[in-house]
Structure 1
Amino acid sequence: MEKTFQQDVPHKLGKAEAKRRMEDGLPKLLSMLPGGRADHRWEGDAMLMDYAALGQSASARMEVLEDRVLVTITLGGMLAAMGDKIAGMLGRGTRDMLEDKRRPR
């Protein structure tokens, strides 16, 4: 059984900077996933990720737009049962990558 979750992560970075931050922040995001194997690739403005561990699989599509990232996560097998928690974790990780960490002047 598969289950799909969607999140809209707003940002004020513009598309190019959001893509750069996502690429730079990917190792930290992937470190949140326990064990297994994770692969990613870009198709245009969308980062596609595949994850597999202990016979379970998940995939994510993060489409970068000028003012937001549309995150779609599909979880299979037993991962689907923990879907809200996993989707929330990936959503927070994406928000962290896009957060403006500059100090106000």
Structure 2
Amino acid sequence: MSAPLVVSIPHRLGREEAVRRLKTGLGRAAASIPVMQVEEERWNGDSMSFRIRALGQIASGQVDVADDHVKVEVVLPWLLQRFAEMAQATIRKRGQLLLTKDGGK
């Protein structure tokens, strides 16, 4: 198994507001990526585990929300590892949009 792809996204919203924005905006963000669909999203407090399907492959991961940043870890199957850099950039960009002061509106 490969090492997880880890992205840390800083924010200034506080933990509660960041969780709220992620819960309401994650579906919209995923829907805007046509080759990806969320198969499972399970929140437990300030953490979410998820499973997504992209190009017929399953990837799983964890989102942990802290007071000043969100950490996203994704384990990509070997077939999707060649897209790791692109996935990392996309996660960072979409996350920053959700977590900016006016991005959650």
**Structure 2 length normalisation: TM-score?**
0.84
- Tell me if 1:17 matches 2:17: yes
Q: Which residue does 2:93 correspond to in 1?
A: 92
Q: Cα 1:35–1:13, aligned 2, differ >3 Å: closer, same or farther?
A: closer
Work out the number of aligned pairs and report it: 102
Residues 41-82 of structure 1: per-residue CA shift (max 9 Å, x gap) = 112211211012454111221100011101111110311111
- Tell me if 1:69 matches 2:74: no
The sequence identity of aligned pairs, in percent, is: 28
Preserved CA contact (<8 Å) 1:63 1:70: yes
CA distance in 2, matches of 1:70, 1:91: 10
The answer for unaligned runs of 5 or more in structure 1 is none
Q: Which residue does 1:58 correspond to in 2?
A: 59
Q: Cα 1:49–1:10, aligned 2, differ >3 Å: closer, same or farther?
A: same
Preserved CA contact (<8 Å) 2:30 2:37: no
**Structure 1 length normalisation: TM-score?**
0.84
Preserved CA contact (<8 Å) 2:25 2:98: yes
Preserved CA contact (<8 Å) 1:61 1:71: yes
Structure of higher CA gyration radius: 1
What is the RMSD of the two structures over their aligned residues, measured on CA atoms?
1.9
The answer for unaligned runs of 5 or more in structure 2 is none
CA distance in 1, matches of 2:60, 2:13: 25
Paired AA for residue 26 in structure 1:
L
Runs of 4+ deviating beyond 6 Å: none
Q: Which residue does 2:28 correspond to in 1?
A: 28
